[in-house]
Amino acid sequence: MMRGMFSAISGLKQHQVMLDVTANDIANVNTVGYKSSRVTFQDSLNQLQRGAAGSNAATGGTNAAQVGLGVKLGSIDNLMSGGTSQTTGSPLDVSIQGEGFFQIGEGNPGTASNSPINPTTYTRAGNFSVSTAGFLTNSAGQYVVGYQLDPGTGNPITTGVAVKIPDNATSVAIDPSGGVSWIDGATGTRQTGYRLTIANFANASGLERVGGNAWAVSANSGAKTVNTPGIGGAGPVSPGTLEMSNVDLSQTFTNMITAQRGFQANSRVISTADEMLQDLVNLKR
């Protein structure tokens, strides 16, 4: 059988993967905080027909003669550039203007105002709300993790806790430094009881997608560093806005056309190889 046919088959498979990734980006063009992907290919094994030879007194050197045996998937890269911010006007919507991720955790925080929650995932989607139990949660009902602040000094007193709004609080809001404040029902004054935390990673592209606009730590993402918004490399936050998808439709549609034409060209190679094999069979006639 012809090597070219199997090379073309590998091309069909990889261009199918490219189209799958492109289709997922298009499907998530309006997903809050979504990060697009990019597919790269690598050439596969090469069959050596003739080795390279060095020069001698009579002749110059000759290069190796190799026949490629197809293509393989090189990488599916996460493109972590920021998306545009859309103004929503909601006081609990917030976007990160720069690098970093909101910390999200699951567990049973009870009813205390300093309930520890271990962050399990990270997200750029800041469409938060207050649950019936008074906790600040994301759209999936998971708890938003932050610092608990001393009401007198404003300094952190407890780290890694679920943000809880008091029962008698009204007019909950988030400021550009990540401070979560409310108007106390007893005193009528605004109090800042928590501050959101931003997690940064040495290799944010190495995070793994886990669905629901969330990311998880991987072996290649590096250890996280936790900072206040706007400090230590963490981007400041913008209240009343949401970060939209960073999918570039013009580039994505170009990728779709490229994937289609690549698939089409490889299918033509298979058709041509089939015709050549048919001619070979007909030699006996």
Q: Are residues 261 and 183 in the same domain?
A: no
Q: DSSP string spanning 83-130?
A: PPEEE---TTBEEESSS-EEEEE-S--TT-TT-B--EEEEES--B-EE
Q: Which pLDDT does position 256 carry in this prediction?
A: 96
164 secondary structure, DSSP code = B
d(CA 221, CA 160): 21
Q: Which pLDDT does position 273 carry in this prediction?
A: 86
| Number of domain units in the chain | 2
Residue span of the structural domain in which 259 resides: 3-50+63-80+247-282
Q: Which of 91, 190, 180 is nearest to 143 (CA)?
A: 180
Q: Are residues 43 and 173 in the same domain?
A: no
Q: Are residues 147 and 133 in the same domain?
A: yes
Q: In the structure encoding, which two tokens stand for residue 83, read together?
A: 């998306």
Q: Which pLDDT does position 16 carry in this prediction?
A: 96
Q: How far is CA 91 from CA 130, 134, 279, in A?
A: 11, 16, 72
d(CA 84, CA 250): 16
Range 149-175 average pLDDT: 90
Q: pLDDT tens digits, residue range 238-274?
A: 999 999 999 999 999 999 999 999 999 999 998 988 8
Q: Which pLDDT does position 172 carry in this prediction?
A: 94
Q: Of 57-71, 92-106, 124-138, give the lowest mean pLDDT range.
A: 57-71
Q: Are residues 37 and 108 in the same domain?
A: no
* Average of per-residue pLDDT values in the chain: 91
For residue 174, list its beta bridge partners: 180
Q: Are residues 143 and 239 in the same domain?
A: yes
d(CA 127, CA 74): 35
**CB-CB contact of 163 with 144 (8 Å):** yes
End-to-end CA distance of the chain: 20
Residue 56 is assigned to a structural domain of this protein: no
Grouping H, G, I as helix, E, B as strand and the rest as coil, residue 202 is coil
- Residue 218 pLDDT more than 60? yes
Residue 55 is assigned to a structural domain of this protein: no
**CB-CB contact of 204 with 124 (8 Å):** no
- Residue 82 pLDDT more than 80? yes
Q: pLDDT tens digits, residue range 8-67?
A: 999 999 999 999 999 999 999 999 999 999 999 999 877 778 888 888 888 888 888 888
pTM of the model: 0.86
- Residue 171 pLDDT more than 60? yes
Residue 76 is assigned to a structural domain of this protein: yes
Q: How far is CA 175 from the centre of its chain?
A: 26
% of the chain at pLDDT higher than 70: 99
